[in-house]
Amino acid sequence: MMTDTPTQPGLISLQGIGKRYQLAGQELSILNDVCLSIASGDSCGILGASGSGKSTLLNILGLLDLPNCGQYHFAGHDIFNATPDDLAAIRNQQIGFVFQSFNLLPRLSALDN
């Protein structure tokens, strides 16, 4: 379990985040030098054209994918130094997902879903 103590202000802090993929032998840069800070209790929207990297950024913010470079602190924890088990625990305890296609169960209430 992560034992580092919070050192960054806010809930989410991204500095210089970059994400690249290999596609057909070529490197495809999706995110370049993304900086973002979100305080606890704040809400924000991520807007952009199709293919601009919104889903990639959301996957990184939700700890489903890791960036190739930069610094990412979530609730004060350095995500680059977290183990897969640490990331799973943070997702389980501190992050909620509402997917675009919802995947709701019709027999359950909105609260139960």
Q: Quick: pLDDT tens for 65-79.
A: 999 999 999 998 999
pLDDT at position 9 is 58
pTM for this predicted structure? 0.78
Contact 91, 57 (CB under 8 A): no
Contact 23, 17 (CB under 8 A): no
pLDDT at position 1 is 44
For the chain, give every domain's residue range. 12-94
Tokens coding 42? 């704040």
State how far the Cα of 73 lies from the Cα of 15, in Å rounded to an integer.
9
Give me the amino acid identity at 105.
L
Quick one: average pLDDT of 81-102?
87
Element (H, E) at 59: helix 54-61
Tokens coding 75? 């609730």
State how far the Cα of 30 lies from the Cα of 28, in Å rounded to an integer.
6
Domain 12-94 CATH (choose: 3.40.50.261, 3.40.50.300, 3.40.50.1820, 3.30.360.30) = 3.40.50.300
Lowest mean pLDDT among 1-5, 21-25, 53-57, 106-110: 1-5
